[in-house]
Structures are given as structure tokens and as C-alpha cells.
Structure 1
Amino acid sequence: MAPNPPCRPAAGAGAAVSRSGAPPVSGSRSGSLPSPSSAASRLHLPRLPSPPPLSCSGTAFLTPAASELHPSDEALAAMSPREQTALLSRQRHWRRARDLFDRLRALPGYASNPFHYSVLLRHLARARRWAELRGAWLGMPLPPTNPAYAALADALAKAGMARESILLLHHMRARGVAPDEVSMNTFVRVLKDERRYANALALFSNWCDGRFEVDFLDLDCSAVDSDGPMQFLLAEIRDGKFSAAGGASDLDGVPRKPKLVATYNTIIDLYGKAGRLKDALDMFVEMPANGVTPDTYTFNTLVNVFGLSSNIGQAGALFASMLVRGINPDIKTYNVMMTLFASIANLEDVLTYYHQIGKTGLCADSVSYRIVLQALCERKMVQDVEDIIEGILNSGSSVCEQSLPVVMKMYVDLGLLDEANAFFERHCRGKGVSSKNFAAILNTFAEKGLWEEAEHVFYSERDGNKDIVEYNVMVKVYGRAKQYDSVSSLIESMKESEAVDLFNEMKTSAVEPNIVVYGLLIDMFAEIGNLKKALYYSNLMEESGISPNKIVLTSLIKAYGKVDCWKEAQELYSRMKNMDGGPDIIASNALLNLYANLGMVTKSKEIFDSLRRNSRADDVSHTTMIYLYKSVGLLTESIKIAHDLHKSGLLSDHASYNAVLASYLAEGSLRDYTELVQQMVAANIPLDAATLGMIFSLLKKGHVSKEEILQLESAYNDERNSVKQAIVALLFSVAGLHAAALDICEQLLRSERTIDPCACNVCFKVYASCGKIEKAFSLFMRMNDLGLKLDTVTCIDLTTCYRKHGMSERLRTNGVLEYRNGRLIMPSHNAVAAFIETRSDVAIQLVKK
């Protein structure tokens, strides 16, 4: 069967980005870089097409047949030494590699091959078969050479034994084995990965000068585990027979240049990580002069180096140079470019490179999806995120674990809790998600005070155990929601994982807990208001010789605050003033909140004024003072702080917005109140029950009829989908923000499937109030066509329409509206319909429109 063609992007992928303002790159060998993107506020992207799949359907990843990995002795004997080395490398298990190696050695006329030994050493080191490795090393018929040193050094470093890997340099020096370019590059890479940049550059520089020195490495051999797997190397270094050989085979002192592209790639990356960008670029420029052609990895490294240094322009120029030179970018190249533009919040160019992946015949990988999901979620582009996720699932893969908290945060921030829960059930519950990412999801709910949703996540089924971080987040969630019984229950459940039992176990095992462990216990008991326990562990900590830091003192201030002990909290706060940097904003707000709860205006004002003088007052500080002044009857001061908070740009959540809204409501400032609600909606902060309660209070102050209020409240209590938008539209209309009110009405009436009688009545009133009489009558007829029954509110709004058009008296005389004892009696549907049919020519024209 012929293979399927490589995967291609979905139709319109390139056009989508082109329409957004940046010209698409036409191919891997042609076209230019995307032009600088427009400002984020002007970015208008169409719905994203299905993304390229994680794996190409036409790419076959065939595993070697068993006969190929285990050939007969005759087939082995017929192979060249190079083919035998390749076969050894392809073995999947160390035991099979060793057995094949033994078979090779048993072949008639077999000559000892250092590359065979190096491959075997690599297999054994990666499998941590230290006894077998030592036997193979000591059993080599000839002294180890560069291939063996390089292979073992690489394997040890990848096994997390970098110190032992570097020890091999001393062993080489003691034996008099000068490093060739391959082994030199290996050791430079190990030193680079250990962030020993100066040592790595010194080793490379010495090698280029024809010298082999190791004293500068300052490797304390005594620090190598005396019982560790590489102890035998130390014994060989100390053996007297090496002393005569040391330095005998040193480099010849003749300057040399690297000849391998892998060496240049390592050194370029090393210069980049060391912050020496000019040297990295010079190294790149040297390559052609020394007969070395840069490869894809070279450009990937350079692009990443300059991108991480915030030199996006140079990174883009390197990408363009790559295309001009005819070097095809791989998926890592595009991922690097996407990462760079994501780091500066340039979504447009992220998507440009993302769509280019499929156009060049490449396939997106999990990193590609993680980058683009992160960028889209930060911009709250829900539909596009869901398109990407659906594409991932269609490709047979799953959403990258690191992306799970990111997507959950997007939904929660937008108030889309149903969508967040559905996403969690589909992608997280029962899956092998790490405790770290579960904690991140929990924290997303915690930041919004959604303790029930967080609890649902915390107790959901999953593979693996809960980590202490998850417990800590739940303590915070319950503490904020004042669910103290739940906190106590949680701590009881923690005895199986961490917490107090862990602390006692540490003490029993003579392992002294550090300040982090003490701080966790103190904070947990502070959150549930158990001052006695918090002080117990604080005293225990100080008795063990550990001084409390600002985090611990802040927890104790919170604990004293739970029992209204302001003097003790004040003493701790004074103690913090003598620490480096003084009290932080969290401690200041904790004491400020304590003073405010006790009505201590003067004390509260002292802290608040101090914070403002030092430009440290945040939304919590302002909110606390607003409610404090309001509670003691200082309304003028409360409103002044509210205006200051509004102008400060610190408004960020429900608590801060509601505090200012409450002050504006008390002030009677309808316009300021409504404009702040408009700002809240624009910031994608969903209106909570407190916000909507204030709006109802405002509307009841004679702005709308009692019947309209009752209908809105009933719809709100029934949790109808469109009621919140309808309430906001009515508020905007009452306050004279007609354009904003009309925009919401257009959104509400866009879909007939979700149209609601209450929402229709609000839109009817908004149209009438804004003078859009034709739209009002058109909506009235649409309601009739949809079979929506007329109610009292509809008739009130109909009256408003005719009053605007000067025909209210005619309505009365035709018997459509009837008043009894001063109350409006709802007419029948037929009565209103008959009236419409018999109206004047003007009315008929309006209806037809």
C-alpha cells in the first residue's frame, strides 16, 4: 500500500494569518519573515482552522525486525566493523547488547574494537549496571581511548552523575590520553549543562591552543562517593603506574580549529548561556571559513540564544538567513520562533509560525500545541482554544499536561464554570496528571474564592497521591471561604500524607525540620484560627534555633487576627519593621484588616497612609478602608478612597470592584456606578451575586417599574442564561449609555433558540428608551411570531413606545390598556393583536418595518 502523503494544514490556515495583518511565509526556502504585528488591541483573528496533527499519517516509524537485531553468526561475520557498531547501538536492552558484544568477540579473527567497547559502556551506564560496567572497563584488552571516555562521560551525565563524568577528564590526564574533538565536545557539553560556563570555555580554549589542562576544574575527588560506582576510577588515578604516563601524550601545542558541526553547536550554545552573544555570532561566522556547514540545529541554537536575550530582531534575521541558505527548519525551529513571540505576547506572529508548520510538510508536536494554547488562553480566545484541543484529540493524542491548568484558568477567569468542569472531567479526572498541575488547577479556583469547585477537583479520582502543595492550596481555599470545619477535616486527612504526622516522623528520625516545614504548620493552624497550635509550633521553631522570617510572622498576625488580639499582632508587626525591607504588603494588610474589623479607624489609617506614602497600597488595602469608613458612617471618606482606587488601576477582582460600586451606590452617582460596571464587563470579570444585588437596588430607586423588577428577579432566580446580560443592558439604558445597551440587545437577540421573554422585554424597553421605535415594534412582532405570551411588562413597554410616538391616549381609548384601582391590568394577546391590525397607517408602516 502506498504511503499517505505528508500532513498539510487545514484549508484557510495561511489566509487566516494573512488577513490578520502579517504576510504568511510562503515556504521553507522562500518568502520573508512576518512583518511586525499590529498592536494587540487591533488584533482581529478569524476562527482558527483545525491544527496540524501531532503525527503525520504518511510517516512510518518502523521498528527493526527481530531477525535484524539478532542476526546469525554468519551474518555477523560478514558485517564490517562499522555495521557491527551500528547494530550494537540499536539494541534495546543492556543485556542483549552485552550478549551481542560477547558473540562478536567470539567470532574467528575478531580484532578488538574501541568503538564496540564504547557502545557497550554507554548501554551499561544508561541502565546503571555499575558492576557490569566496571568489569567491561577493566576487561578491555587495551587502555581506554577517546571513544570509551566520550561514551562513558555522556552516559554518566545523562544518568545524573555529572561529577563522576567530569572525573573522567582527570583519568584521561593521568593516563596521558589527550582528548580528541569528540570527547572534548562531550566534556564541554557536560560542564555547560552544569552551568560551569567558565570551566567549559577554559577547556575549549585550551584544546584550541593545543593544551590539555584539568587543574582549573577544581574537582574535589574526595567529594565523589567512596561507595559509588566510579570509585574504581579514583583508585586507578591514585595508582603509581599512571604517574609516568601523565602528560606524555599531551596535545602538541599547535593551535587547532574544530571541524565538527556538533562542536560549533555546543560552543555557540555555551557562549549564549554565558551571555556572550558576540562570541556566539563570531563562532557561527567562522564555520564556513573552516569548512563546516551550519545545520538546522546550529540555527535553532542561535535563534534561541538571541531570542532569550530579548533580541527578537536578530533571531528573525537568523531565521530568514536559514531559509536563504536552503536549510530546512524543523519542528524545533518553529517551536523556538513561536516561543520567542509568545514571550512578548505577540499572538499574531505565534500563529503565523504555527500555521507555517503544516505548510512546510512538518507536523506539530506537543510543544507546538502547548505554546499556541498558552498564547490563546492568555488572550481568552475560547473558541480558538477549543478548536486546537479538538484537533489534538482527533490526532489520537491528548492535551499536554502543562496546558491543563492554563485552559482551566481561562474558563474560570471568564466565569465559564460549566465549561471548566466539563474540560476537567474530560481531560483530568482519572488521568495521570501530576500533583503539581492539580495544585495549579486548585489555585485557579482558590483565586476566585470558588471553594466548592476546588473541593470537587481535590477529591476527584486520579492516578497517584496528593502532594502537600495541594493540601496547602485547599487550606487557603477553605480559609478564604471561612469553611473552618472543612479545614479541620482536611488536616485530619493530611495525617496520611504529610502535615503533623510528617513533622513528628521527622523529629523521631532525628531529621530537624526546617523553616519551610514549621512555616507550613504555623500557617495551616493560623488559617483555621487555632492560635494555640500556631504558637506552639512557633515556639518550638525558635527553641530549635530557627528565627521566624516574615512569612511566619505574617501567619501569626493572621492567627491573632482570628481571635481579635490586636496588641499581640501589633507587636509582631513592629518586630518585622526591624527586618530587611520591613513588613510586606501581606503582613500590612493582615494587620490593617484586624484593625478594621475592630473599628479602629486611627490605627487603620496609620497603616494605610504609610502604605500609600511608599506606593505599596494595593486593592486589598483600599477595599478594607472603603468598608471601614462606610461601617463607621464616614461616607465621604469611603467614597474618596473608592474614587482613588478606581483611578489607581488596581481594580482586579470582584472584591475590589464591588467595594467601589457600593460606594458609588451610596453616593447616588448613577453615571459613575454604571461606567464602572461597564469597565468590569470589558475586563471579563463576571458579575457575581453581590454586584447584581446592588444593580437591583439601584433599579428599584424609581428607575423602572415594580413589575419589571419582579420579572427580572424571577428570571435571575431561575438562573436563565440571558438574564445577567439583560440586567446590565437595562442598567446601561437607565444611565444613558445607549450605545452599550443596544450592543447587548443585539447580542441577546442574535439567536432565536436562546431568546427569552424577559430578555425580549428588556430589549423592547431599551429600544423604546433609545428612540429606536421601529426596532421596538419589529421586536414586538417577532415575539408574536415566536409565540411568546404578552405579559404586564410587555404592555408597559408597549405604552412607552407609543408615548414616544405620541399615541398613548389612542391606546387607552381603544381599550387595549385597562387600569383598575390605579393598577395596570394585562390585556389579552388577541386584544393587542387586534389593536395593531386596526392602527393608523403610521403604526402599520412601523410594524411592517
Structure 2
Amino acid sequence: MMSPCDCFLHATAPPLNPPSSLAAAAPGARWRDSNLSFQSSAVSAPARNVETSPNLVVPCTVHTQAAERKKSGRWVKYGGSIPAMLEALERNEDIGEALRPWRDTMSNRERTIILKEQKDWRRAVEIFNWFRRRRRHEVNVIHYNVVLCAVGRARRWDLVARLWHEMHSGGVAPDNSTYGTLIDVHCKGGRERMALLWLGDMIKRGLLPDEITMSIVLQVHKKAGEYEKAELFFKRWSLESDVKMKGHPCYSLYTYNTLIDTYGKAGQLEKVSDTFNQMLREGVSPNVVTFNTMIHVWGKHRRMEQVASLMRTMEEFQCLPDTRTYNILISLYREINDIDVAEYYFRKMKAENLLPDVVSCRTLLYGYSIKGMVTEAQALLKEMYERNMVIDEYTQSAVTRMYVDAGMLEQAWRWFEKFNYQLNSECFSANIDAFGERGHILLAEKAFMCCIKRKMLSTCVCNVMIKAYGLVEKLDEACEIADGMERYGILPDYLTYSSLIHLMSTAKLPEKALYYLRKMQAAKLLIDCVPYSVVISCFAKNGNLHMVNCLFREMITSGIQADTYVYSILIDAYAEVGDVQKAEAYFGLLKKAGLCESATIYNSLIKLYTKVVYLAEAQKTYKLLKSLNADTNLYASNCMIDLYSDHCMVKEAREIFENLKVTGKANEFSHAMMVCLYKKIARFDEAHRISKEMQASGFLTQALSYNSVIQMYVSGGRMEDALKIFQKMLASNTPPNDATFKALKIILVKRGVSNNDIRRLELLRKNRIHDCLRHWYRMLCMAVRSGGSSSRRISDNSALRTHIFDIGNSKNGKRNTRKHVTS
């Protein structure tokens, strides 16, 4: 049976089905006011160099069934002959025949209303053309505005351009409503930039946008994230309006809501409050849209006390929250992981007879999923099923992850299978990642195979599968995924190669990492120094400094600039081998490139100068490190203590050590180096005090620390204290090393143990006899307690010889020794 990777690599590649590029539908338009000032929310204007057609003829496809509809009373409000005209047009497709009775008496107002009442833009254009062909039927700017609105909403930009050209040819001057309509329809049709061009033309003609058009332009800039432009436009418009109206204009509720939303998205919370307060001062009562916008703005900035205050203000204004209000609240509290409050508003929504919609349920379900609240999520899912609500792909993947994280793998797979036939590529990626992140590679592979069968394979899906294999260290399978992508008509991207390079580097396979770097290079995907830095770091850890240097030069030659991290790798690599010249050369290149020195680089330099004992350079670098706006690194401080210890510079070392203690950063190495320093200058009382601090703080755990303290006590002639520390070392299962035994040998020599006996002990250690430590410890005990007595020494030597021949013969001996060591 072939593995998923085999299937992926060797199966016949499916034919490519390029997705059709369908334009997203924009929200439907609405009439801006009842007196036909057709100026809606628009954002972009078409160019005017469009080929024009002499006859603007559009076939109308109104079905004959339309004439059979019941007469409606909706036209009665117009009075006069208008209802009869509209009914005649509905009954008869022939416009001339339908309007015959009123052909010579029809007014401009009647023509305007007839055009406005057409539900089909094609019928409106057909009637408009009929009017144009009749000499007695004048076509004015209002008629053009109505037809422009109709064809603009239908997104027939070619007809919009032709109508515009025809207006100019016929000498019909556009007015504010014309431009407002053009701006509106282009904005709602997703052509924001073109709407701004129309705005520019409007201003050139000396026409001032009305308030509605101004609000639409604000929406355009807000949607594009151009908040400064929005504010500047509003200020200019306000000044011009003040001059024209000879006083401060009173803005509408819609304008205030737009301003609040714009300032909110720009993060200008003070202006949000000022606008809201100005609105109240001018007597404009906020509506639910106002409060929803304010709640969303403050909530997004995590100002939940303001959110609660706004809810109370809503009650004061007797403005009832709607479904959107509660959806915003549920979403905001879910985002700050306060699922209890989100759940509270969900219940309150129901209590106020507002039925939660699909957004409410999905938002709360997502919150339950990421919090791992399985029981609550299942109860909500049941409610959603009962109400025939659709689970979207993103909520589906969150529930999959919830089951996986809870260890409910069977439920997770059933849930995935239930939806896999309706998942898109992105959601397949999320589901595979849910299985892969927890190491359930078999389920991840099964989901991956489902994706292939559904022909939903994408670069993102492959990248997630590569990640899953990397997490379980299946590097060959990860490589096979990358190698098989082209068979399915998809190409590896930057993330694909970066992931593989990282995996190979983590596995200490620099040659493999370099191979994928070369493939990335060939695909022209190398856009920064990050992949190079990973490969360089891998070679540096392997000690291959030749490749490190070559790769750096190659990177620079290819035009990719190194960042601070790359230089830190290079400097640290040469610091490890003590190459001062190379390390300082790269440090010079770093400064020449104008890059900021980092604490990491200074640490590497201090490590280098400590290794080669360059005191002055280390002091200068440490001073630079302290000048950075960051806490001085513990590693660098310990290096300086070590260096000062070598030079017996007590004052400087103690200053750093005390600072570390004050900040709570002093560690075991800091204390051990201070013990070494005080030992060197024979200040054994100070060394003994620090040794006690180490033991009290639990800083006596490493062989280096034990050795420092033992050596200090041996140098000070305190053999019993040294023996006690060795006893602690054995009790903590810290293996002694050569430095330990070197110090212990001094004790034996000073206590008069013969060279032959010492050689026997060293032979035991050299041959790695399993209980040699027991014999070393017994000999040390007898030597220390003998106090130099010759008779005692003889008996000790005899005891040693006896024990050497008795190694491993007695279980009781082992038990007694262990008891003695830990006592």
C-alpha cells in the first residue's frame, strides 16, 4: 500500500482548473432622498476617453408577464396622469403605444418620475431613448441623473461613459446631483479611485459637494485607510460650507456617524469623543448605529470600561440594542478571552426577544472552540442545527482543532469528514494544521489525501503538510511533498523553501539546507537575508567557517543586504574560535552598513574578549552594552566577572556581582566566579560566605560550582569543608570531573597518603570501575580524619588495599556506603 507521499508523488496529476475571476458583488444602492438629488456613496470616476456611440440603444428584455401583474396603488401618491402612464407602460411593451394619450402633454416632472419608477435599467434606457427621439420631449440634467443612477447600479460603466459624453455633446451641464450620483454608483460598484476622479472634476467646475456626497467621500478614504486625507477633506468642505451658508452648518446624523467611524478606525479616540459630544450639543440624537460604532471603536482599543458606559448611555437615550450591538459585544469579549461575558450577552440577547443570528452563533462557537469548551460548543452546535444555520469553513476548522486539543480524535475526524466536501483550500490547510500541530500525522495525511481527491490542493496546503512532517521529524516525507508540488500544477513559494531550510538546519543538515537555498535561488524567491541567515547559522554551528564566509560573500554579491541578525551569527561564530580579527572585521561592516548594534552582538564580542583575555576591549564593549536601552545581559556580566577574576580586580567584579544580586539576576556561575576570585587573593572568609549563600540559594548544582568551592576550601586548608562539599556533590548525583579529582588529590597528598595508594585510586577512575567514587570518598574520609597520624595512615592504607580487592563483593557494603555518602 502506497503512503500518502507516494500517492502524492506518483499519482497522475489532476488537470488544472483555474478559478474563474468573478467580481465581488457590491451592496445594493438606495435612493438618497425623495426629491431626486441622486448623490450617493461613491468613490471612483471613469476616464472620459471612451469611444462613444451615436445611438445609445440597449435591448430591453422585459417579459410579457410583467403586463399581467396586478395594478398597484403605490403610484397613487403622484396624482394626476402619472399612475395611468406607469400602468400603461407595464401593460404594453411598446412605449409609443403605451404613452400615446399623453404624447403631447407630458411634463418634465412626469418624465422624471416615469424614468425613476423603472425597476429594470434596460427599460429605463429604452424609455429615455424614446424621449430623446421625440422633439417635444425635452431631456434635461435630472433625466440624465436618473438614468446614470440606473445604469451605474447595474455596473454598466460603458453606458455611464456614453451618457456622460452625450450630456456634453448635447450641452447639458452636470450639476451637484450628477456628480453625487456618479460618485455614489462608482463607490458602491467597487471603483473607489474612479469616484475620487469624479470628485476632482466636480471641484474643478467649482461645484461644492453636498453633505451626503461629502460623507460618501469620507467613506472612500476610510475604506482605503487614508484617514488623514479623510480628515483634511472634511475640514476643507466644512470651511467652504461655512462660507456658503454664512454660519456653521448643522450636520446630519449620517455625517456624524461617518466621522465617528473614520476617527475610530484612525485610532483618534479623543476626536471620537469630541465628535460625539458636539453631536449631542447640536441636538442630534444618536441612534443605534452611532452606539454600535462607538462600542466597536472603544472595544477594539480594549477600553472595556467605555463600552460598559456606552451601554448605560444607550439606556438613558432609550435606544434599544439591536442584533448587531450584541454581535459586536460578543465578538469584543471573545477577542479578549472573556468568554463568560460574551456568553452573558448571548443570553441577554435572547432574553430581550432578539433571536441570535448566524453571526452571533458562529462568533460564540469560535470562542468556545479556542477555549476548549467542548460541552458548551456541542450544545450551541445542536441549537444551530435545529435552526438550520450553516457552519462556515472557519468555524468548522476551529471546532476540529478543539476536538484535537481535547484528545477527542474520533470526533475530530468525524467532524472533518462531515464537512470535507464543502471546504476550500484555505480551510483544508487549517484542518491539516490542527492534526499536524499535535503530532497526529496519520490523520493529517488522511486529510491531505482528501484534499487531493477534492482537487483543492494549493501551495498553502502543501506548506502545512511540510510543517506537520517537520514537527514529527519526518524530513524525507517533507521533502517529497515539496518535490511533488509541480506535478499538480502548483509551485513552491517563499514559505515552502523557508520551512524546508529551517527543518534541515534544525536537524543539523547544512548541505541539505543549502540545496533548498539553491532551489529557492533558482526560483527567484530570495527576497531577503532570512534564508541565508538560517543556512549560515547551521554551518557556523557545525564549525564550517569557510562556508560561513563564502555564503556571506555570495549573499552580498547577489544584492541581498545583511541585517543585524546575520552579522550577530558571523561575529559569534568567530568569537567561538577566538578569531578577534575576523569578528572585529564583521563588526566594522555592521557599523559601515548603518545597522544598530544589538545586545547579542555585544555579548558575542565580550565572550570573544574574555576568551582571549582582552580586558580593555571587554570593558569598552561592556560599557556600550550598558548604554543600550535594555537590561544588561547576565551572560555578559558573568563574562566580565570571570575576566576581572583572572586579573584579580576585586572592586570591579564585586560591583557587577552586587548589581546582579540587587536585580535578582545573579546565578550559579556569578557566585562561582566570585568564589574563584576571593580564592585567588586568599580572602577565604569572603569566599566561604559566598559559598554559604550558594548553598542557601540552591546555586550549588553544577560541577563547575562544586569544583570552585572545593578548590577554595582546599587552598584555604579547610579539608573537612571540602569533603562536605564533595559529599553533597555525590548526594546530588553530579558527576565529578578531572578538576574535581585534581583538587581531591591535593587533600590526599597533604594528608600524607602514599603515591602508590593515590595511583591505585586513579587507576580505579581510569578503568571506570563502577564504585570507584565510594573508594575515593572512604580514602578522603580516613585521610581528613587522621589528622596526619602515621599509625592511622598505615591502617588507612591497609583498609584501602582491602577494599580494592573487595570491589563489588558485598551488597551490604554498597548499602552501607550509600548511607554514609548521603549522611
TM-score computed with the length of structure 2 as normaliser? 0.51
Q: Please state if 1:210 is matched with 2:240.
A: yes
* Residues 333 and 342 in structure 2, CA contact (< 8 A), matched pair in contact too: yes
Contact 1:553 1:572 (8 Å CA) reproduced = no
- Quote the offset at 1:86 in angstroms: 6.4
Q: How does 1:689-728 map to 2 (within 5 A)?
A: none
> Does residue 145 in structure 1 map to residue 175 in structure 2?
yes
**Matches of residues 206-605 of structure 1 in structure 2 within 5 Å?**
206-210=236-240, 252=244, 254-427=246-419, 429-431=420-422, 433-461=423-451, 465-497=456-488, 519=498, 534-535=513-514, 538=517, 549=528, 551-553=530-532, 555-556=534-535, 580=563, 582=565
Deviations 1:238-273 (A, max 9, x none): xxxxxxxxxxxxx62734324421111111111222
> Distance in 1 between the 2:568 and 2:308 partners?
41
Deviations 1:779-798 (A, max 9, x none): xxxxxxxxxxxxxxxxxxxx
Partner of 2:216: 186
Task: Rate the CA distance shift 1:550–1:529 in 2: closer, same or farther, 3 A.
Answer: same
* Distance in 2 (alpha carbons) for counterparts of 1:258 and 1:181: 10
Distance (Å, rounded) in 2 between the aligned partners of 1:590 and 1:300? 57
Q: Match for 2:330: what amino acid?
A: M
Instruction: State the SS of the aligned residue for 1:387.
Output: helix
- Unaligned stretches of 5+ residues in structure 2: 1-65, 73-85, 92-98, 103-108, 556-560, 575-603, 609-631, 638-699, 706-730, 734-823
CA contact (8 A) 1:378 1:410 kept: yes
Asked if 2 retains the 8 angstrom alpha-carbon contact of 1:445 and 1:451, the reply is yes
Q: Residues 119 and 74 (structure 1 numbering): CA distance in 2 closer, same or farther, change over 3 Å?
A: closer
- The answer on whether the counterparts of 2:112 and 2:146 sit within 8 Å (CA) in structure 1 is no
Task: After superposition, give the CA deviation of every residue in 1:146-200 in whole Å (9 maximum; x if it has no partner).
Answer: 3332332233234443222211121002222211111111112111211221221
- How far, CA to CA, are the matches of 1:446 and 1:111 in structure 2? 72
Cα distance in 2 for partners of 1:144, 1:69 equals: 36
Tell me, in whole angstroms, the C-alpha distance in 2 between the residues paired with 1:343 and 1:555: 34
Q: Partner of 2:207: helix, strand, or coil?
A: coil
TM-score by length of 1: 0.49
CA contact (8 A) 1:342 1:375 kept: yes
Report the CA distance shift for 1:254/1:199 in structure 2 as closer, same or farther (over 3 A). Answer: farther
Structure 2 match to 1:133:
160
Give structure 1 stretches of 5+ with no counterpart: 1-63, 213-250, 504-514, 592-602, 616-634, 641-665, 669-849
Amino acid at match of 1:582: Y
My pick for the range that moved more, 115-124 or 314-323, is 115-124
Are the equivalent residues in 2 in contact too, given 1:306–1:312 (CA < 8 A)? yes
- State the alpha-carbon separation in 1 of the partners of residues 249 and 334 from structure 2: 37
- Aligned residues of 2:366 and 2:398 also touching (Cα < 8 A): yes
SS at the partner of 1:374?
helix
Give the direction of change, closer, same or farther, for the CA distance of 1:104–1:342 in structure 2 (3 Å limit). farther
Superposed displacement of residue 98, structure 1? 4.0
Larger radius of gyration, structure 1 or 2?
2
- The CA distance in 1 between the partners of 2:437 and 2:269, in whole Å, is 41
Aligned letter for 2:338? N
SS in 2 for 1:327: coil
1:490-542 deviation digits (Å, cap 9, x = unpaired) = 2343104566x678xxxxxxxxxxx7687477568879999667535645877
Structure 2 CA distance for aligned equivalents of residues 65 and 328 of structure 1: 44
CA contact (8 A) 2:437 2:471 kept: no
SS at structure 2 position matched to 1:460: helix
Contact between 1:475 and 1:524, CA under 8 Å: does it hold in 2?
Answer: no
- Give yes or no for contact 1:376–1:385 (8 Å, CA) kept in 2: yes
Whole-angstrom distance in 2 between the partners of 1:520 and 1:187? 44
Q: Structure 1 residue 344: deviation in Å?
A: 2.2
CA distance in 2, matches of 1:137, 1:580: 55
Residues 210, 254 of structure 1: 8 Å contact kept: no
Two-structure CA RMSD over aligned residues (Å)? 5.0
The answer to whether the 8 A contact 2:116-2:146 is kept is: no
**Partners of 2:568 and 2:124 in 1: how far apart?**
61
CA distance in 2, matches of 1:394, 1:410: 22
**AA at the equivalent of 1:407:** V
Give the CA deviation at 1:288: 4.5
Higher helix share: 2
**Aligned AA for 2:532?**
L
Tell me which residue corresponds to 2:40: none
**Across the two proteins, how many residue pairs are aligned to each other?**
491
Q: What amino acid maps onto 2:309 in structure 1?
A: A
Cα distance in 2, alignment partners of residues 198 and 148 from structure 1: 27
